[in-house]
Chain A
Amino acid sequence: MQCVDTTQLLKGVLDLAVLAVVGDEDGYGYDVLRRLRAGGLTEVGDASIYGTLRRLYGAGALTSYVVPSDEGPHRKYYGITPAGRDQLERQTKDWLTFSETVTDLLRTDSPDCPQGARS
């Protein structure tokens, strides 16, 4: 889906998702993309992910190195930096708090929601 609006919406969360994937294990562009898709982020365009990798690298949250290979092209791998790890931790906390707040808001707003019963 090439919808630019979605890209704008997901931009903040995309940072978090990309950092989480790279933090888990270093990867090159398509590798990261594959893992994100496997994780369920199917709505985001490829270009957004590549661009995000580049932006995070530029901001110092990711580092990069080239791994030569005899068969096929050299791959540029991305890894997470300590600053990136800090950002990941911080943004994870923020996201969890935020999503909890929004979820609570939604639950109280619709009292007939099946999951709604709050104690």
Chain B
Amino acid sequence: MTTTAPRRTTLEIAAFVDEVRTQLANLHPAERDELLDGLEADLTEQQADGAVRTDLGDPRAYAVELRLAAGLPEPTRRLPRLPRRARLQVPRMDSVERLLDCSHVLFRGAVDAQAWRRATWEVVTELRSAWWVARAWLLVTLLDVVAGHSEPVSVIPSLGHPLVGPAVFAVAVLVSVLVGLGRLWPGSGADRPVASRVALLVVNIVAVVTPLTFSIPNPGYINDNDPYADGSDPYSAGYRDAQLEGQAEARQPGLHVGAKEVTNVFVYGPGGQPLAGVQLFDQDGEPISVPSTSSTGRGLDRQVPCPSYNGTTPLFNVFPLDQVQLRRDYCTPETMGRNAPTLPLAEVPPLN
């Protein structure tokens, strides 16, 4: 163990390390410290050994070599002049790729660390095919929800047409499986282009998140034992009918019996003879009136009711109402051509 060159003192080693540190000035301080951590101690030990290297060499070259081996970027003034867009894109793609690769490696490391984790992961990977089908269904259903009317979510997305839905769904499943297998874009393995990997990641994230936005129909029909579940019990049915009636009335004010609109009332006396000028009132003393804006038919067949008049007040609860044919608007006192309506029944049987 002979040395031909004089030993470097600790001061010179310290100076060397300082110079290297300066050369790495453009790095993040933490990164730099990590890199140089223990370098001084190592060099001192190296000197103590004396066997390997006696000349510290050029700190600048050392720094360059260190950067290169560590895969760190060079100081900016040494970068070749790239066109603006390339200079922006290249580092970003590189770091995204590194992020993806590092995440993958870290995840595998965490999984492989323990036996139960490895076993669990094996089971999960077996379910990959189920995920591919689910992914296709989620994306087609998302398309359905976005493009179509607010239909409830169904087992096979319908896309508004009975044939289109299942066909699109089948194609989507096929594509998803092929992508999952790596047969179709973007291929398999670590040398896939970064943009494709990120795109696939985004698609997967969207597929996972979209179910949260779906409104699942109330699966009450699934429960066979609950008599109230499907709304066919008398209480629910009655409530529903009343709701419909109320809605109908709110939409069309006027005279209705059930859902049927009444446009004229024909009154027959106890002897079976038709009566005229009959004034109708309900149990609250409110007149039973046909609305003044009612009409039947269209165009040349349009008929509107003409009221009787108490002075100038039109009365639409005096039956039977005269009618007039008008293509538009309604009956006024000046309207000519009003007739008494045709009796629907010439006579009715007299009461006993």
Contacts and interface: CB of A to CB of B under 8 A. Distances in A.
A55 B70 contact: yes
Interface string A51-81: 1101100111100000000001101100001
Interface string B95-130: 000000110011011001100000000000000000
A100 interface: no
B39 A50 contact: yes
B219 interface: no
B105 A47 contact: no
A4 B49 CA distance: 26
Contacts of A52: 69-70
B174 interface: no
Contacts of B58: 2
B34 interface: yes
Nearest to B56: A46
A83 B65 contact: no
Interface residues of A, number: 34
Contact of A82 (B39, B69, B112): B112
Given A4-B65, A52-B69, A55-B69, A29 B112 contact: no
B41 interface: yes
B183 to A, nearest CB: 23
Interface string A79-90: 001110010000
A47 B66 contact: yes
Interface hub of B45, B62, B113 (most chain A Cβ within 10 A): B45
Interface stretch (A30-38, A91-99, A105-113): A30-38
Nearest to B40: A73
B42 interface: yes
Label chain B's interface by main secondary structure.
Answer: helix
A4 B64 contact: yes
Contacts of A45: 62, 65
A58 B46 contact: no
B102 A60 contact: yes
B52 interface: yes
Given A60-B106, A75-B41, A2 B66 contact: no
A72 B41 contact: yes
A54 B70 contact: yes
A14 interface: yes
Interface of A: 2, 4, 7-8, 11, 14, 28-30, 33-34, 37, 45-52, 54-55, 58-61, 72-73, 75-76, 81-83, 86
Interface of B: 34-35, 37-42, 45-46, 49, 52-53, 57-58, 61-72, 101-102, 105-106, 108-109, 112-113
11 contacts: A2-B61, A4-B64, A7-B68, A11-B69, A30-B41, A30-B45, A48-B68, A50-B35, A52-B69, A60-B105, A61-B105
